[in-house]
Amino acid sequence: MKRIFSGVQPTGNLHLGNYLGAIRNWVRLQDDYDCIFCVVDLHAITAWQEPRELAANTREVAAAMMASGIAPERNIIFVQSQVPAHAELAWIFNCVARLGWLSRMTQFKEKAGKHRENASVGLFSYPNLMAADILLYKATHVPVGDDQKQHLELTRDIAQKFNSDFGVDFFPLVEPLIFGSGTRVMSLRDGTRKMSKSDPSAYSRIEMTDGADDIARKFRKAKTDPHPLPETPAGFAGRPEAANLMGIYAALSDIPIADACARFGGGQFSAFKRDLADLAVSVLAPIQDETRRLMGDEAYVDGVLRDGSRRARALAGPILEEVQAIVGFLPA
């Protein structure tokens, strides 16, 4: 059986990177896999979240996932904290994973920055919880953006160590699914840094809730260079901002980047940026309308999430019980 698990943090508005790198691909995979999609609020609180905002963001992220085309009847959409088995398996993985493995995680180093001593313990053990998310359902495939690759390698290491420590062949080795031209959308202010929710500049990212004016303004102000757009992808060497904007265009219009170069090569950024903004608005506006409609019906969204967590618990429960027996815990 091919089973997908993936998640997104409710730490603020989703941005174009989350959409192109992950959510859009999830929509495409839902026909071929048994899919479980999660709003990972336990991960979100590894950094401080205002409680009221966390609750609102959790609902909004779930609504945006549905508005993007993830069907709640065919897939499981749920909130991580509503399935306690995630935290229970994460504890066991805290005792399987090694300090050295987690110390090498680049995301921890980036997020903790210079003030490592002040980072929460949760931020450090974050990847163990992520491994628990995936392995709790014995998921085989995980569609994510490029930045999650290292966490998935760690998930494989944890699965392997668990299996070998206990002499079992229990957890599968998950395969990352990183595909499409949006796997690494970069900041609009600096083409060498990824687009991220935590960047202090709102001009660095297109948020899924941005209106047409904001989108046009952000692309207009996006950093560029003084040369005309290249006619082939080879011309992006040393031009990360040009590569990023053209990559976004290609991803949004679902064409190879070489085709985007053929279309705009030799032209100026100003005209290209106008076309890019129009394209982004045409893709995002229908999703925004549907998200707003869903947010007007909280009872419906909460119902979907409650149903999702019930179905997730039904899948997770027996797997966690098997893990507990393997570890040597007495049955409850």
Catalytic residues: 111, 194, 197
Per CB under 6 A, does 17 bind ligand TYM?
Answer: yes
**Site residue total, ligand TYM (CB under 6 A):** 26
CB 253 within 8 A of CB 260: yes
Sheet holding 34-39: strands in order across? 76-79, 34-39, 3-8, 141-143, 175-177
CB of 5 to ligand TYM, least distance (A): 5
Q: What is the DSSP letter of 303?
A: H
- Residue labelled with tokens 């260079």: 225
Answer whether 177's CB lies under 8 Å from 25's CB: yes
- For residue 15, the minimal CB distance to ligand TYM (Å) is 7
User: How many Cβ atoms sit within 10 Å of the Cβ of residue 121?
Assistant: 9
**Subset of residues 138 to 157 that bind ligand TYM, contact rule: CB under 6 A:** 142, 144-145, 147-148, 151
Binding track, positions 156-185, relative to ligand TYM; x by CB under 6 A: --------------------------xxxx
CA nearest 182: which of 278, 257, 247?
247
Contact flag: residue 130 with ligand TYM (CB under 6 A): yes
Nearer Cβ to ligand TYM (145/230): 145
Is the four-CA dihedral 231, 232, 233, 239 of positive or negative sign?
Answer: negative
CB neighbour list of residue 232: distance below 8 Å, 6 or more residues apart: 258, 261, 262, 265
Least distance to ligand TYM, CB of residue 195, Å = 4
Contact string (CB under 6 A) for ligand TYM, positions 47-86, x = contact: ----------------------------------------
SS3 37: strand
Q: Which residues bind ligand TYM (CB under 6 A)?
A: 5-9, 17-18, 21-22, 40, 43, 130, 133-134, 142, 144-145, 147-148, 151, 182-185, 194-195
